[in-house]
Structure 1
Amino acid sequence: MEYAIKNTFLLIWIALFSQTFCNKIATHFSDPMVPVFMSIRRLFTVWATFIFTLPLTGFAHSSASLNIAWPVNVGELNPHLYTPNQMFAQSMVYEPLVQYQADGQVKPWLATHWDISKDGRVYTFTLRHGVRFSDGEPFNAQAVVANFQAVLDNKARHSWLELVNEIESIQATAPDKVVLTLKHAYYPLLQELALPRPFRFIAPSQFVDGTTKNGIKKPVGTGPWVLKETRYGQYDRFERNPGYWGEKPAYQQITVKVIADPTSRAMALQTGEVDLLYGVNGIVSPDMFDQLSHSKRWVTQVSDPVETSMLALNSSRFPTSDLSVRQAINHAVNKEMLVQTVLYNTQQPAKTLFAPNIPYADIQIQPYQFDLNLARQLLEKDGWHLPEQGTIRMKNGQKLSIDLVFTGTNAVQKSIAEVIQGDLQQAGIQVSLIAEEESSVFARQRNGRFGMIFNATWGAPYDPHAFIGSMRVPAHADYQAQKGLPDKKIIDAKIKQVLLTSDATKRRELYRNIMTRLHDDAVYLPLIWISSWAIASPSVGNLHFAPMTSDIPLNQFKPVRN
């Protein structure tokens, strides 16, 4: 851009000099020569005008860039690993065999066709012809097998996804044919192949020592974007993949600016530093979103509910190890008031772990109603009493005090945590708020160092099968929260059954049993059925929401031309 501006000023000077030069020369010649020099002057003018428009054209082209804000850098973008790799950025660079759609179905993507054996164990994929990685390497069956093998080489890390455990073999039978054989029929296979990780494809030349579990050389995928530059703590810059096989994005460049604080993100939007804020709430504070949505300067949009935000209550750590405490927490939080006062009615209060529009979740479960008196009664009955002139309940000499861990950069979590702290205080429960960086929060989820911690279901296409399947993995908050439950082994066994059964009726009954047990154990406090938010400058044009909540549909955004 700076180069284009300098050239523009240079060419303006040339144009003005040309006209002035011709005028002065013409005045020193006889009248018959004046038309000649005037013609020369007009020629210079036309030439200069033409040249002058070139940098402007280049400027307009170079301005086809989009600046967005994100709390952290996108990571090294290993398609087969997790945090700190950001899922939306992994999806920009890497692609799946099949793509998830808004209607819950999958469509051909890097695979154009697939056949399934009668017993449901063997899938034969036909690959799209003419696809290359952004470095020019061909995408073929050998590349697919190499990537699958890289995932399987790190099986312990990926075992939360049941598909990884069910793969028996992966073979290339032709340059465009891959045969995937399972141990058992597995109904969510195609949905799990569509996930943003781990079954996406990096150029095999970028493996380190023949695998990806210890890192990659460079993030080289088949997707529409290429990561060009990273400055830690500042930004990540993506450019359009010139050799992309599909429809190319309208934007030439995407800059992801690292802005950790939600207030600073809002200011960056208002000052024009960024053009778009997008995400599953927390991108700005709820009051700021409400303010921006009522301003004609910005375009704002709210998606349909996509996932559930909740607290995981640690059943193996005192005092949330008491069922009465977990039940009381569920009755003591006024979700309706929370949504009104904190979220400005931009979200819906959650009654259960999954919204009823989620597959298999339309079951009759009696929600925990807000009832402060009932919460107090449950605690009293279980021996949690208020001391004289005290405000915090005690039992056997121990205070009813619980820590609540949240991500400090998430404005919504902070606001909700403060409301929950106040609500539980009314029931005699002390809540200590712990705000930490995202990586530290994830570490606590993995090792169980929490009493209550923010968590969320994963949205489409993970819910319910992948999210429930991950409850058996110790590195997940759900496992840590549930491991103190008397029926934890039963829950895990039923999860295994539900993922492998090919009987739809039996599958529905198993899901009902699992969800009912988790509800009765009160191991979660469902808070809100959350929607994605998008806030943009009018120059971004129409806003779209991706079928998967982890994605940002950057390919669909088109700049408005003035």
Structure 2
Amino acid sequence: MLKRKYFLFIPLFVLLFLVACSDDTAPNAGEESSVNKNTLKMSWPSDIGEANPHLYSPNEMFAQALLYDPLVAYGNDGTISPGLAENWDISEDGKEYTFHLREGVVYSDGSMLTADNVKRNFETVIGNSLAHSWLEVVTVIDEVEVIDELTIKVSLKESYYPFLQELALIRPLRMLGDAGFPDSGNTADGIKKPIGTGPWILNEADENHAVFTRNENYWGEKPSIEKVEVKYIADSQMRMMALENGEIDLIFGSSQLTPIEFTTLRQNDEYLTEVSDPLSTRILSLNTTFGVTKYKEVRLALQHALDRQTIIDHILSGMEQEAHSLFSPGFPYSDIEIEEYNFDVEKSKKILDKAGWIVDGKTGIRSKNGEKLELLMAYNSSDQIHKAIYEYLQGAWKEVGADVKLVAEDNQVYYARTKAGEYNIVMNDTWGAPYDPHMYIRTMTGEQQIGNYSIMGTDSSDKLIEEITRVIRSTDVTERASLYESIIQTIQQEAIFMPISYKQNYLVANDVFKKIKFSPQQFEVPINLYEMK
């Protein structure tokens, strides 16, 4: 049987449009590009919101990263480097962090960065702790104390080794100037103005576009580009047309183009195309407390019935690398030996046969003690990649006797379902740097547990909960490495997740750039590092 059997074809009109974009007779992609070579024009799929550094959606992360700085930064190799804090001291018990701020850092309104201002930023986030309950960096802080004008001490309720990693996140602990705070003092009520110390200043924003200009008082290396114009374009085909006619110079991020759209544009020499290193993992999460996926033999059988390479080749256009482990080996504590579940349909059938799942001669669907091997797989109806993968799996898994029921829902209903755990399998991504591995694993347990990442209901649940609790609090690097090895190997043995591929970011640009690159954080567009010709 050909693997190609379950491949879902792209509609003809889309292919014709893509071919037209890559045809040799197409106009020069850069001919009508920016007249001012110090102005970058790019697309984004949605409005950036008010750019409140302390809140989430509808505030767009890439804009928050342009405007606001953290105390510490996350480097390409996973190391923590100075940000607004020039250096810091950590107490022996891991409960006190003393940050020494840079001198002379100026906000975009001309005000100075001070320890009092940093304390104000910390306290408004802590005061809105319910909104940040998923983020332990907020809930673990006990006290913020000003030592002097440029020194601040943060005391924790208990040791928490990822404290610095979570301070490096794009939100919520980045610094807003005092004049940006609302009269209430609580940024949960909104902000007066996005006043930051970052390399960019927001000059203009409405429902159609946003304009950023270079912060001439930036404390770090100033961007070579002077101006960034962001045009909101919700549809990927319209983005491609805007790139072709020179309305924009850059489409950044794998969320803005489908794999087939990107690979088609990549074939056109008029465009500059780049692909990042692995940034996160595309996975299927199996609910161990709902329906037939609570049985380990079913989870194991499905693991061996997963043909990753066919999905990558035919649905992801060969754009991603095959994944067998929950985290890419390039992430901290993640270069771990695991037992891989290789694609083997006959082995999958034997596992189910041995466990007593009998095939119905008429329907081809298995059952055991009156329970059908039925899988409820929900997805966001607007996500065409998820839809294509699910439809492929629906056909492929029928071959081993599984009846896959697909449920397409709008985002709000889908989110409510996954939070309630009313599914057998859902598709997720790990969160990438600097969240992985610690934060993704931590949210599998305790009050912060997220429904579709649960490790409950397995024979190893108690062991995993105990080890996850210990690893987050450990101040010993060797002990942490050992605990992570045990946790990741146990998760693999329990077949809780089915890694498909390591996701990468990609970009397409007109030929106006001399230097362009990616950030280790997948939601950041590092425009301050770009150079135009």
Contact in 2 for aligned 1:403/1:450 (Cα 8 Å) = yes
For 1:213 and 1:488, locate their aligned partners in 2 and report how far apart those are by CA, in whole Å.
36
Counterpart for residue 203 of structure 1: 177
Looking at structure 2, the residues matched to 220 and 430 of structure 1 have their Cα atoms a distance apart, in angstroms, of: 54
Residue 544 of structure 1 and its aligned partner are, at CA, apart by 0.3
In 2, the alpha carbon distance for the partners of 1:168 and 1:223 equals 28
1:466 pairs, out of 431, 439, 445, with: 439
1:446 aligns with 2:408: no
Q: In terms of mean alpha carbon deviation, does 296-305 or 79-88 score higher?
A: 79-88
**1:142 aligned residue (101, 116, 129):** 116
1:553/1:490 CA distance change after superposition, 3 Å: same
Matches within 5 A, 1:246-285: 246-279=220-253, 281-285=254-258
Say whether residues 1:119 and 2:93 are aligned partners. Answer: yes
Equivalent residue, structure 2, for 1:77: 51
User: RCO higher in 1 or 2 (8 Å CA, sep ≥ 6)?
Assistant: 2
Structure 1 CA distance, aligned partners of 2:382 and 2:42? Answer: 16
What letter corresponds to residue 468 of structure 2 in structure 1? I
Q: 2:502 aligns with which of 511, 529, 534?
A: 529
Distance 1:536 1:340 in 2: 24
Question: Is the partner of 1:292 in helix, strand or coil?
Answer: helix
Tell me if structure 2 keeps the 8 A contact 1:446–1:475: no
Farther-moved stretch of structure 1 (190-199 vs 127-136): 127-136
DSSP-derived class of the 2:348 partner = helix
- Partner in structure 1 of residue 41 of structure 2: 67
In the alignment, is residue 500 of structure 1 matched against residue 462 of structure 2? no
**3-state SS of the aligned residue for 2:531?**
coil
Determine whether 1:355 maps to 2:337. Answer: no
Match of 2:304 among 287, 309, 331: 331
Rate the CA distance shift 1:251–1:417 in 2: closer, same or farther, 3 A. Answer: farther
When structure 1 is superposed on structure 2, of 180-189 and 301-310 the one drifting more is: 180-189
Computing the radius of gyration from Cα coordinates, the structure with the larger value is 1
Unaligned runs of 5+ in 1: 1-58
Instruction: Report the equivalent of 2:281.
Output: 308
Q: How far, CA to CA, are the matches of 1:196 and 1:462 in structure 2? A: 11
Identity %: 38
For the Cα contact (< 8 Å) 1:282–1:412, is it kept in 2? no
Deviation string, structure 1 residues 436-461 (Cα, Å, up to 9, x no partner): 55565544443334332221122222
Q: Distance in 1 between matches of 2:449 and 2:60?
A: 17
Structure 2: distance between partners of 1:264 and 1:474? 43
Give the structure with the higher percent helix. 1
Q: Does 1:225 align with 2:194?
A: no
Q: Distance in 2 between matches of 1:434 and 1:264?
A: 29
Contact 2:419 2:451 in 1 (8 A): no
CA distance in 2, matches of 1:425, 1:147: 54
Paired with 2:195 and 2:414, the residues of 1 have a C-alpha distance of 30
**1:473–1:288 CA distance, 2 compared to 1 (3 A):** farther
- TM-score under structure 2 normalisation? 0.85
Output one character per residue of 1:317-358: Cα deviation in whole Å (capped at 9) or x when no partner.
223233232222211110122222223332111011112232
Does residue 1:166 correspond to 2:140, yes or no?
A: yes
1:476-499, Cα deviation, whole Å (9 max, x unpaired): 646654343354344233212101
| Aligned counterpart, 2:25 | none
How has the CA–CA distance of structure 1 residues 314 and 270 changed in structure 2, closer, same or farther, with 3 Å as cutoff? farther
Deviation of 1:130 (Å): 2.2
1:145–1:170 Cα contact (<8 Å) kept: yes
Contact kept in structure 1, 2:284 and 2:426, CA below 8 Å: yes
1:206-255 C-alpha deviation (Å, 9 max, x unpaired)? 334222234333332221223344444x4343333344333332333333
**Which of 75, 88, 106 in structure 1 is aligned with 2:62?**
88
Task: Tell me the TM-score normalised to structure 1 length.
Answer: 0.81
Partner of 2:484: 511
Q: Distance in 2 between matches of 1:340 and 1:60?
A: 36
Q: Which runs of 5+ in 2 are unaligned?
A: 1-32
- The one-letter amino acid of 1:536's match is A
Is the CA contact (8 Å cut-off) linking 1:284 and 1:411 kept in structure 2?
no
Change in CA separation of 1:201 and 1:379 when aligned onto 2, cut-off 3 Å: same
- Corresponding residue for 1:377? 350
Distance 1:113 1:298 in 2: 42
Note if contact 2:67-2:200 (Cα within 8 Å) is conserved in structure 1.
Answer: yes
- Take 1:251 and 1:414, find their aligned partners in 2: how far apart are those partners? 39
CA 1:395–1:166 in 2, change beyond 3 Å: closer, same or farther?
same
Aligned length: 500
Q: In 2 relative to 1, CA 300–482 (structure 1 residues): closer, same or farther, beyond 3 Å? A: same
Residues 314 and 451 in structure 1, CA contact (< 8 A), matched pair in contact too: yes
Q: CA deviation at 1:518?
A: 1.4
Q: What's the C-alpha RMSD, in Å, of the aligned pairs?
A: 2.7
Aligned-partner residue type, residue 124 of structure 2 = A
The 3 A distance-change label for structure 1 pair 291 and 504 is: same
